[in-house]
Amino acid sequence: MNNKKKKNVKQEQKVLKFKNNLNVANNITGIKIKSLFALVFIILIVLIVRIAYLQFIDGKTLKQKAYNQLFYTQTILPNRGSIRDATGMVLATSYSADNVIVDPAEISEDKKTLIVSTLASMFELNYDEVLEEINNSDSKITLVKNVSKDKVDALETWIKDNKLGNKAIYTEDTIVRYYPYSNLASNVIGFCGTDIQGLSGIEYSWDSVLTGTSGKSTISRDAAKSQIPNTEETYIPAENGYDLTLTIDVNIQSIVEKYLKQAVEDNKCTKGGITIVMDPSTGDILAMASYPDFDLNSPFTPNSYISEGWEDLSTKQRSNLLQRMWNNKCITDTYEPGSVFKTITATVALEENIVGVDTPNKFLCTGAEVVADRTIRCWRARPHGAQSLRDAYNNSCNPSFIQLGRLVGTVNLYKYYEAFGFFGKTGVSLSGEASGIFFDIDKVGPVQLATMSFGQRFTVTPLHIVTAVSAIVNDGILMQPRIVKSITNTDTGETTNIPTTKVRQVVSKNTSETIKSMMQSEVEIGTGKLGLVPGYTVGGKTGTSEPSQSSTDEGYVASFIGIGPVENTKIVVLTCLYDPKGVSHQGGQIAAPVVSKIFSEVLPYLGVSSNNDKSNIHNNTSDSNLY
């Protein structure tokens, strides 16, 4: 009995234990299921959030990536417009070429020696330098630029024969800007960078016209990047840049540069020189030259004037010197014009009827003029004595013009300075043009008025002077300087002429004629005798400006402005020589002969007949100290 009870108890314990194990197992399974559901729910939420992010936030980017994988877009570069001179000669143009690209990451070690030796031989490169460049570069290298077609063909054949594919070495199309005349008008034309974007001169200031607009071609392609047949291709052609025709005449420019270079070198002008030739009736710039110049096809190579010690200069120093080399000093640099400016003072006096041109004994030169607390001396040790305005102009007498300045007065002078455009820019379509720098009118005292009257202690650009004198000899009408004559649409051939612009009437025709007669006598019997041109009636004015006490390192500026012929004037020519260290620093001695030589070739070229009047030819050695 007891045994039976014990047996039943044991059986009940087993059943209870089994039930307890089953309950525990059920509980664990329930937890696992709940955890699994929770995990699935979390994953589902994450997926929903991710899908939402991809759809609504990153959707546009992914769509674009998918589009890029399916479609291939190639940019079509426009042709940059050419620059031509007034006669149609090409001054700047572009052509297609190829660059050789090397990707070091795609070059295996077993092929490196073969590739380097072949490239060095084919393109005349130094083997060690090519090897070093490839070994030390983590990105693609433009190994050779502007490769000719025959060498491109030879390279592609070699790549194919050696089964190198098109990843390690390949060619890339590029556009090259080329200047057929190299140095001619370099500071005016300017140059482009490697991306064929204008960096200086006309190339920069007219860049938006010359550049054009890029086009594009879009095709569908498969995973192998081959075009999918029978799919639509989108093609938007490039709009090529426009051609520019300048007012500059390459023949006149060549004549000007020849004589300017000769003068700068012969007179040891440490800061170079400039010459501008303008047609006064239109404002057209027929020539604009700065010397020293530079090679437009190699603009980052220093010329001989700045190359000394080049390797020892810092990057900043080199950059500053290159910028100076590129500058067009005719418009960017101001200077004190000196006695050339007496033409302006005399013009104002005549226009205001303050003095007659030939009234005798109007002025008195005793060799010096006392102004406030100082004495300003005449350039000549021997006093000029009593003079008319014409005499004072011919003799370039400072004391007489100080007296004239007092008669005219600051208010009158500033009124005409503004009318001639000295306070602002001329409006020529070139970048970097400077404005004149003058004293504020309320700060002009006796000394400032005296120095202004003969062209010192204020600064203007050479283009200011040429433009103003051109206005005087153009019946008193000021024309805006023009250097771009027309624009041609290279796609349609349509040409748009840029009109000449009359700014204002500054002085009367009568004053114009009187000043021209004074300029003629100044050359015939005054300080400008070395500006005479056999067979032609020409006029002019000499100038020699000395540096101020605060800038003695700037040196003298010797200048001469000439007009020819005097009747129906065709051209006005200004030459400035900076810091001459030769036998003379005076404009009448070293600048006047330059303008004379230019006239002797340019006037016949323009069809101006020689009058063969020998009576105007004088002995040019009568005064050895010309001003």
Distances from the Cα of 86 to the Cαs of 83, 248, 255, 385, 595, in angstroms? 10, 6, 15, 49, 22
Pairing mode of beta strands 83-84, 243-246:
parallel
Q: Which residues pair with 83 in a beta bridge?
A: 92, 244
What b-and-e string marks burial along 53-62, b requiring 16 or more CB atoms within 10 Å of the CB? eeeeeeeeee
d(CA 504, CA 121): 65
Do residues 519 and 282 touch, judged by C-beta distance below 8 A? Answer: no
Choose, from 200, 339, 453, 521, the residue flagged as catalytic: 339
Q: Could you identify the residue written with the tokens 């699994």? A: 36
Do residues 407 and 356 touch, judged by C-beta distance below 8 A? Answer: no
Distances from the Cα of 119 to the Cαs of 78, 123, 155, 176, 379, in angstroms? 31, 6, 9, 22, 67
Chain-centroid distance, C-alpha 263: 25
Please choose, from the candidates 357, 399, 361, the residue with its C-alpha nearest in 3D space to the C-alpha of residue 378: 399
Chain-centroid distance, C-alpha 477: 29
Do residues 223 and 209 touch, judged by C-beta distance below 8 A? Answer: no
Do residues 232 and 220 touch, judged by C-beta distance below 8 A? Answer: yes
Distances from the Cα of 194 to the Cαs of 13, 118, 189, 309, 497, in angstroms? 96, 26, 17, 26, 30
| Structure token pair of residue 327 | 């500058």
| Active-site residue flag, 339 | yes
| Structure token pair of residue 33 | 């299921």
Q: How many CB atoms lie within 10 A of CB 474?
A: 23
d(CA 599, CA 562): 9
d(CA 551, CA 484): 36
Q: Could you identify the residue written with the tokens 């390690």? A: 168
| Structure token pair of residue 68 | 């890029």
What are the φ and ψ backbone dihedral angles of 583, each rounded to 5 degrees?
-70, -20
Do residues 174 and 146 touch, judged by C-beta distance below 8 A? Answer: yes
d(CA 486, CA 247): 9
Do residues 285 and 254 touch, judged by C-beta distance below 8 A? Answer: no
- Helix (H) / strand (E) containing 408: helix 398-408
Q: Please write down the long-range contacts of 605-609, taking CB distance under 8 Å and 24 or more positions apart.
A: 605/251, 605/252, 605/255, 606/570, 606/571, 608/536, 608/564, 608/565, 608/570
Active site residues: 339
